Amino acid sequence: MKAFALAALACVGLSTAASAWEPTKPIEVVVPFGPGGASDQMARTIQGIAQKHNLSPQPLVVVNKPAATGGEAMMDIQKSVRDPHKLLTTSSGIYMTPLSTKIRVNWRDFTPVGMLAQDEFLVWVKNDAPYKTVQDLVAEAKTASPALKIGGGGSKREDDLIVFSIANETGVKLTYIPYKSGGEASTQLAGGHVAADTNNPSEDVANWRGGQTRPLCVLSPKRIAYKAKVASDMSWSDVPTCSEQGLNFAYNMLRGIFMPGDVTEEQKAFYVDLLKKVAETPEWKEYLERNALLPDMRFGKDFEDFLTSDEAKHKELMAKAGFLATN
């Protein structure tokens, strides 16, 4: 009788495993920005790892929808309610786009799957610029006429918010120049068209390695941990924090994945498991180091609590900057 009961339990376990949800058609990974950006790089890294290690029975297909500062992608996911074959890569734009526009969409319309990392921001200058610290840049800004130009990717987005916050803390006037991407901002900096930019590591590292730009400081509470040499015999960990140079403002940006609303727990569980498997691979660890990302994986309530807190922080900062849309 005992053997029969154990066999029955085993059958139940097999039945449960067999009934676990899996995708039945290609999975569309929607990126709310153009090809080559940090969100696109993350999506394509996950795509490549999943394919190499056979982590999904269906292929992941990356689709870029950059219109309306990512609003097109968010509305696409909002309209795809109950569709378990769509994912959305996201950054702080998940709050900033709705808050700065009249687009009627909110991250709560979606299903949070997981946060994979946080992205750093650094203050970058041209390699031959006279500035050694961010305070040197601030000192120049105090007497500059016209005001120093600081480049970044997009209007009323992370870079714009960072430049406003630096100017607000230091009491200087800075002119923010929005470009289509961080890559374009880096190119303009290398060409001497702006005095600085506030890019992610992945957006300026090529020009740093090429001897055209260099970082002054990282806008994070702690230094970047990676110690491998990157450029000019420097590692990411050699770059001081901006707070070490007397600038208190700090900023990090989430890198996460969402599904449409009203999917089942089983469907969500498949992607949580997929992301955890991706994060265990050497390719993912290499991707994190190559882009100087801060490893920070959160799922379930931990991720939702982070989103709630981070949204409130962005709303407060954006209100100070005058970025909130008016009714």
The residues, ordered by sequence, that sit 6+ positions from 273 with a Cβ below 8 Å of its Cβ are none
Residue after which a domain boundary falls, among 190, 219, 245: 245
Task: Kindly state whether residue 267 falls inside one of the protein's structural domains.
Answer: yes
Say if CB 46 and CB 278 are below 8 A apart. Answer: yes
Q: Which pLDDT tens digit goes with each residue over 91-126? A: 999 999 999 998 899 999 999 999 999 999 999 999
pLDDT given at position 102: 84
Q: Which pLDDT tens digit goes with each residue over 136-186? A: 999 999 999 999 999 998 889 999 999 999 999 999 999 999 998 888 999
- CA nearest neighbour of 79 among 102, 104, 54: 104
Type of residue at 254:
L
Sign of the CA dihedral with 183 first, then 185, 188, and 190 last: negative
Task: Kindly state whether residue 141 falls inside one of the protein's structural domains.
Answer: yes
Q: Above pLDDT 70, what percent of the chain?
A: 94
Same domain for 38 and 137?
A: no
Say if CB 182 and CB 152 are below 8 A apart. Answer: yes
Say if CB 123 and CB 137 are below 8 A apart. Answer: yes
Same domain for 126 and 115?
A: no
Residue after which a domain boundary falls, among 196, 222, 245: 245
Same domain for 130 and 224?
A: yes
Task: Kindly state whether residue 9 falls inside one of the protein's structural domains.
Answer: no
- CA nearest neighbour of 177 among 147, 200, 203: 147
Say if CB 273 and CB 113 are below 8 A apart. Answer: no
The DSSP bridge pattern shows strands 229-231 and 294-299 to be: unpaired
Other beta carbons less than 10 A from residue 36's beta carbon: 15
Task: Kindly state whether residue 21 falls inside one of the protein's structural domains.
Answer: no
Burial class (CB in 10 A: 0-12, 13-18, 19+), 40: buried
Average pLDDT rounded to a whole number, residues 257-262: 98
Same domain for 265 and 241?
A: no
Same domain for 81 and 185?
A: no
pLDDT given at position 17: 47
Domain with residue 153: its CATH number is 3.40.190.10
Please, what is the Cα angle at 78 between 69 and 183, to 5 degrees? 25
Count the residues in the chain. Answer: 327
- 38 pLDDT band, cuts 50/70/90, is confident
What residues make up the domain containing 312? 26-119+253-321
Other beta carbons less than 10 A from residue 102's beta carbon: 9
CB half-sphere exposure, 303, CA atoms < 13 A: 21
Task: Kindly state whether residue 16 falls inside one of the protein's structural domains.
Answer: no
33-37, 262-266, 285-289: the lowest-pLDDT one:
33-37
Domain with residue 83: its CATH number is 3.40.190.150
Same domain for 196 and 296?
A: no
Say if CB 34 and CB 67 are below 8 A apart. Answer: no
Same domain for 132 and 228?
A: yes
Same domain for 159 and 231?
A: yes
- 18 pLDDT band, cuts 50/70/90, is very low
Residue after which a domain boundary falls, among 203, 222, 245: 245
Same domain for 259 and 220?
A: no
- Three-class secondary structure of residue 234 per DSSP: strand
Burial class (CB in 10 A: 0-12, 13-18, 19+), 55: middle
pLDDT given at position 19: 58
Number of domains in the chain: 2
Q: Which pLDDT tens digit goes with each residue over 295-320? A: 999 999 999 999 999 999 999 999 99
Same domain for 108 and 220?
A: no
Task: Kindly state whether residue 139 falls inside one of the protein's structural domains.
Answer: yes
Q: What is the distance between the alpha carbons of residues 130 and 141, in angstroms, rounded to a whole number? A: 13
Question: If you count DSSP H runs as helices and E runs as strands, how many of each does the chain have, helices first?
Answer: 11, 13
Same domain for 114 and 259?
A: yes
Task: Kindly state whether residue 5 falls inside one of the protein's structural domains.
Answer: no
Quote the pTM value. 0.89
Same domain for 46 and 94?
A: yes
- CA 310 distance to own-chain centroid: 13
